[in-house]
């Protein structure tokens, strides 16, 4: 079956964009093909630093013929309606239309037999449209062209059924020849070793020609090649590779033909903290760090070079020596910062934070640190094992490494370097660890602090951010979250739940707001709690907890009238409630609750007044009324006691005891009777069912 081969050759595409772009290109082309009635048997995409390639197999040589009918107006319709129908149907005269009898009378129909076009005639415009529709996070124009692409686009190979397609891409948008990039059957090999034109007719010859010209097209093949070469090198040296999947994924997108080489550096650099050395290697140079069998850092690294570099060749030696020279300069800088930074105490750096703006509306970093200090001292009383003085010290020093030379050079080491400098000064290890971990968890895969002091400072840092941005109205909207407040809230939730903390979250947020003074005049703690509720649904989705139950418990009022804000207690209650509702008793009680709530809602609307007040036992006419009333009165105190003791299984067992009297009531008692007093009394009984069950969760939020 015929095959379509498309390659977009450009200057170097950023590694992080290649995979997504190739997948989007495949989707755009497949959608366009299906819209044109051209369905293939399968497609594959490939990406390298310089090219996006798509192959679609099994396309038909020609579109199928189509029979198209368009219904028009009635035969006696006004002339304007008929004229409009002719224009829309492309008919020159009404004589070209058919007249058919319908249930609405005689109606005009336009009938067209549309012959299918050759696929080779359809593809050029289709491919050009897909290329223009491909989006990039960042794009550019080059020369005098108006067309935007991630990097200058150099050629487009487009071959169908062994023949190059006509057409191309208009880069200027004016149809001029100067800005026309035509389709063709030609590509180019490796920029360093095979930069010669290659003529291909199908995917097989394309891959064969590229391989011969020094291009490994398949991303997975390049990754395997890097891994295998690395294993051979480190094995021969008696070392082991420090695992770094993210760096491997990036490097695969930097080379079209990977060659892995080993370089070395002076052992004297190992006096610098290993994280500094690894960061210098990976973030700036894309080198892989190596370890001794004992796990300590080795004075060696791997570099993935572009193109072939045979053993013993001058090129290979030059690549190794050149990269060793570059790394030596980087590590010399790192050692200089390490030596110089330790000459100034962290506490003496505190005043420099007054020169760093945290946010234009929220002030400088020194004021932020002062707020985190106060909040850390407050939180220390809620976290077992955390001392308030140590919490203040850790909070006071947590941001000071931001003004060190090392963090200025390697921002990703903030916090970590603070720990090293603190330990060098003889500061207690628990305080140093809190400095290092106060940013954690930074994301869903980042470990959560478990040491009491680290938990306290990490919570204080995140809550100060959330309260501050809520105070000035800078909250996430839609997909926009420029200050990563969703991630920050998830960090708070993880710290609380994973460490089983019992925190009055609303009170703590209000106390944090006082640190902002007049700026927090409009702070709405309930709005922030609602945000936590939404984030909690996301956090617990993987655990299989229902979002409606989280909302139903989060909306509860505490005995003092406040909102439920103890996340640990909330999750325990939700887990118990979800298990209970999965059984027959819970399910049937939920049905009864809804039945009672619906009746009350309808009657309140009819009466124009809410159902309020206690029931009057003297108005009971049937024993089912009396039995339900007695059951409700008996269960309330035991239910409240169980909730106070946080014995949620017992609380739900108490509710389960209401099932029989509720079922009997609905079976035997008519609520809407003629007697007004009797009707009102029975509505109050139904309201009592609601209010009693709502002590556990707001069941009107619970979904079926």
**Do residues 161 and 2 make contact, with C-beta atoms less than 8 angstroms apart?**
yes
Q: How far apart are CA 315 and CA 322, in angstroms?
A: 10
Q: How far apart are CA 417 and CA 430, in angstroms?
A: 15
User: Could you give the 3-state DSSP secondary structure of residue 188?
Assistant: strand
User: Could you give the 3-state DSSP secondary structure of residue 348?
Assistant: helix
What is the pLDDT, as a whole number, of residue 119? 87
Q: How far apart are CA 514 and CA 518, in angstroms?
A: 8
Beta-carbon count within 10 A of 323 CB: 20
For residue 436 the two structure tokens come to 């290092």
Q: How far apart are CA 191 and CA 9, in angstroms?
A: 11
Q: Which residues contact 578 (CB under 8 A, 6 or more apart)?
A: 545, 546, 549
Q: How far apart are CA 703 and CA 427, in angstroms?
A: 53
Instruction: Tell me the β-bridge partners of 297.
Output: 291
Instruction: Evaluate the CA torsion angle 290, 291, 297, 298 in order and state its sign.
Output: negative
Q: Strand locations in 144-267, DSSP E?
A: 153-160, 163-164, 168-170, 180-184, 186-188, 197-199, 240-241, 258-264
Q: Which residues contact 34 (CB under 8 A, 6 or more apart)?
A: none
Residues of the chain above pLDDT 90, percent: 67
The segments of the chain whose pLDDT lies below 50 read none
pTM of the model: 0.81
**Do residues 479 and 461 make contact, with C-beta atoms less than 8 angstroms apart?**
no
What is the pLDDT, as a whole number, of residue 194? 63
Q: How far apart are CA 459 and CA 436, in angstroms?
A: 13
């Amino acid at each position: 079956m015929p095959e379509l081969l498309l390659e977009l050759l450009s200057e170097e595409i950023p590694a992080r964009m290649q995979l997504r772009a190739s997948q989007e290109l495949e989707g755009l082309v497949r959608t366009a093909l299906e819209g044109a009635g051209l369905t293939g048997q399968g497609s594959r995409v490939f990406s390298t630093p310089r090219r996006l390639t798509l192959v679609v197999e099994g396309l038909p040589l020609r579109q199928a013929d189509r029979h198209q009918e368009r219904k028009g107006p009635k035969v006696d319709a006004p002339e304007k309606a008929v004229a409009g129908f002719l224009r829309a149907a492309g008919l020159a005269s009404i004589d070209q239309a058919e007249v058919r009898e319908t249930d609405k009378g005689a109606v005009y129909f336009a009938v067209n037999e549309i012959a299918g076009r050759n696929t080779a005639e359809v593809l050029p415009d289709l491919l050009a449209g897909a290329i223009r529709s491909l989006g990039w996070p960042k794009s550019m124009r080059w020369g005098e062209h108006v067309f935007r692409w991630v990097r200058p686009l150099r050629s487009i190979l487009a071959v169908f059924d062994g023949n190059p397609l006509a057409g191309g891409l208009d880069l200027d948008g004016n149809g001029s020849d100067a800005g026309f990039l035509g389709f063709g059957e030609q590509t180019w090999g490796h920029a360093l070793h095979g930069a010669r034109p290659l003529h291909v007719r199908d995917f097989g010859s394309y891959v064969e020609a590229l391989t011969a010209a020094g291009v490994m097209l398949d991303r997975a093949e390049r990754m395997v090649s890097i891994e295998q070469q690395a294993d051979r090198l480190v094995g021969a040296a008696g070392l082991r590779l420090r695992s770094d999947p993210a760096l491997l994924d990036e490097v695969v997108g930097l080379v079209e033909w990977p060659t892995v080489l080993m370089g070395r550096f002076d052992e004297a650099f190992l006096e610098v903290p290993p994280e500094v050395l690894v960061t210098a290697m990976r973030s700036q140079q894309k080198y892989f760090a190596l370890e001794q069998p004992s796990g300590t850092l080795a004075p060696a690294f791997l570099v993935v070079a572009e193109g072939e570099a045979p053993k013993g060749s001058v090129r290979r030696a030059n690549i190794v020596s050149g990269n060793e020279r570059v790394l030596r300069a980087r590590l010399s800088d790192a050692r200089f910062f390490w030596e110089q930074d330790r000459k100034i105490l962290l506490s003496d750096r505190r005043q420099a934070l007054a020169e760093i703006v945290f946010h234009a509306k929220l002030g400088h970093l020194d004021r932020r640190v002062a707020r985190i200090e106060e909040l850390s001292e407050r939180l220390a009383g809620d976290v077992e094992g955390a001392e308030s003085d140590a919490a203040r010290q850790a909070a006071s020093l947590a941001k000071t490494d931001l003004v060190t030379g090392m963090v200025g050079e390697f921002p990703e080491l903030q916090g970590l370097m603070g720990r090293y400098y603190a330990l060098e000064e003889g500061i207690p290890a628990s305080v140093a660890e809190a400095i290092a971990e106060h940013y954690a968890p930074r994301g869903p895969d980042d470990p959560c602090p478990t040491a009491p002091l680290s938990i306290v400072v990490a919570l204080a840092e995140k809550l100060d951010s959330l309260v501050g941005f809520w105070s000035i109205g800078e909250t996430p909207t839609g997909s926009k979250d420029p200050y990563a407040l969703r991630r920050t809230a998830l960090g708070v939730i993880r710290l609380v739940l994973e460490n089983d903390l019992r925190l009055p979250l609303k009170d703590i947020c209000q106390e944090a707001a006082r640190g902002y003074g007049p700026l927090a005049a409009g702070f709405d703690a309930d709005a922030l709690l609602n945000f936590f509720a939404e984030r909690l649904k996301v956090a617990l989705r993987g655990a299989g907890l229902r979002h409606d139950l989280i909302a139903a418990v989060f909306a509860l009022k505490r005995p003092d009238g406040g909102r439920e804000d103890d996340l640990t207690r909330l999750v325990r209650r939700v887990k118990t409630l979800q298990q209970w509702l999965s059984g027959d008793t819970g399910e049937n009680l939920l049905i009864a609750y809804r039945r009672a709530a619906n009746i009350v809602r309808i009657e309140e609307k009819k009466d124009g007044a809410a159902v309020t007040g206690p029931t009057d036992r003297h108005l009971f006419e049937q024993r089912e009324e009396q039995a339900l009333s007695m059951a409700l009165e008996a269960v309330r105190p035991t239910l409240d006691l169980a909730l106070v003791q946080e014995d949620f299984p017992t609380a739900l067992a108490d509710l389960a005891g209401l099932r029989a009297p509720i079922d009997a009531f609905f079976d035997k008692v008519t609520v809407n009777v003629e007697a007004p007093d009797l009707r009102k009394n029975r509505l109050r009984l139904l309201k009592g069912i609601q209010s009693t069950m709502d002590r556990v969760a707001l069941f009107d939020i619970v979904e079926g």
